[in-house]
Amino acid sequence: MNYRHSFHAGNSADVVKHSLLIALVRALQLKDGGLTLIDTHAGCGIYDLEGDQAQRTGEAMQGVVRAFADANPLLDDYRAAVQAVNDGAEPRLYPGSPRILAQLLRPQDLLILNEKHPEDAYALRGAMRGTAAAVHERDAYELWLAMVPTRTSRGVVVVDPPYEQTDERARITTTLAAAHRKWAHGVTVIWYPLKDHETHFQWKKQLRRLGIPKVMNVEHWLYDSVQPGLYNGAGLFIVNPPYAFTQALPPLLEALRATLAPEGHRGEMTAEWLGG
C-alpha cells in the first residue's frame, strides 16, 4: 500500500497521529531532562492543502477540517499546532510531524529529522529553516539504529514510512528488535495504515514474538466493517509509553473517534497492550 505524505496530509490518520504525538511528548516533558526527538521518515515538513496532490484525494475534509469544526477542548493542542503554521487562521497549510515536533522543543531538547527522497529532503530543509532541527538524507532504518541510544538520557523515535516497499513491515520489525537491544528504555512510535484485519493480525503476531515488554497498540478503524480495497484507518505501536500518557489516553481517543467517524458509521478506536 503506497502512502505518500503529500497525498494524505491532514487526513484522519494525521489528526490521530499528531494528537497522540503531542500528548506523548508533553507527557515526557513533565520531567526536566532533555529529550532527543527523531523522525526517520520526515517527509516534506509542511503541506499545502490547496495543492494538487492534497486536492486530488480531498482527505483533509474528513480529517483536519472536521477537527477544526469540533469544539471539544481535548483537541485544542492539536488545533493550536496546526494554527501555528497558518497565523492562527483556518488551515490552508498542514504541518507534518517535523514541524509539530519543532513546536514542542524546549531549550534542552534535540530534533533530528531524516528523509531519503532527495526532492522531499530539499523541501524539508526549507520547511525547517529557522528551527533547531538537524536534517539527514539517509536510509531510515540505518539512521534509526545509528541514532540510538540518544545523546540525551531519554528520547522518542517516530517511524512513519509511506509503505511503498513490500518489505517495509519486515524492516521495521527487524530494526525495532535491534534498536531495542541497544536502547531498551527508549520510546518508539510506529505508524501504519490499516487496510485489512488479516495483514495487521499477522504483523502483530510477529511483533509479539520480539518479546518487548511494554508495547501499546492504538488502532483507529473508520468504518463499522472493513471496506475491501479502501483505506480503513490507521494505528500506532508505541514502545515504552509514559504513565502520564497512558492515563490520559482514553478520553482523547474517544474525542478523536467521535470527531472523525464518517457519516453513518460509529468507527472504533482501541488501545491495548500488545502482549495482552
pLDDT in tens, 4-13: 676 778 999 9
Query: Is 160 an active-site residue?
Result: yes
User: Which residue, among 241, 229, 237, 234, has the nearest Cα to 260 in the 3D structure?
Assistant: 234
CATH class as words, domain 5-19+27-196+227-232: alpha beta
The confidence score (pLDDT) of residue 197 equals 75
pLDDT in tens, 90-112: 899 999 999 999 999 999 999 99
**pTM (predicted TM-score):** 0.94
Give the Cβ contact number of residue 119 at 10 Å: 9
The phi, psi pair for 271, rounded to 5°, reads -140, 125
User: Which residue, among 244, 41, 242, has the nearest Cα to 155 in the 3D structure?
Assistant: 242
Cell matching residue 28 = 515526557
Q: Out of 160, 167, 196, 224, which one is annotated catalytic?
A: 160
Grade residue 2 by pLDDT with cuts at 50, 70 and 90. very low
- Those residues whose C-beta lies under 8 Å from the C-beta of residue 203, and which sit 6 or more positions away, are 169, 173, 192
Kindly list the domain boundaries of the chain, sorted by start residue: 5-19+27-196+227-232
Specify the amino acid at residue 216.
Answer: M
The confidence score (pLDDT) of residue 1 equals 41
Specify the amino acid at residue 54.
Answer: A
pLDDT in tens, 228-269: 655 789 999 999 999 999 999 999 999 999 999 988 899 999
The confidence score (pLDDT) of residue 109 equals 98
The confidence score (pLDDT) of residue 198 equals 81
R_g of the chain computed on alpha carbons: 17
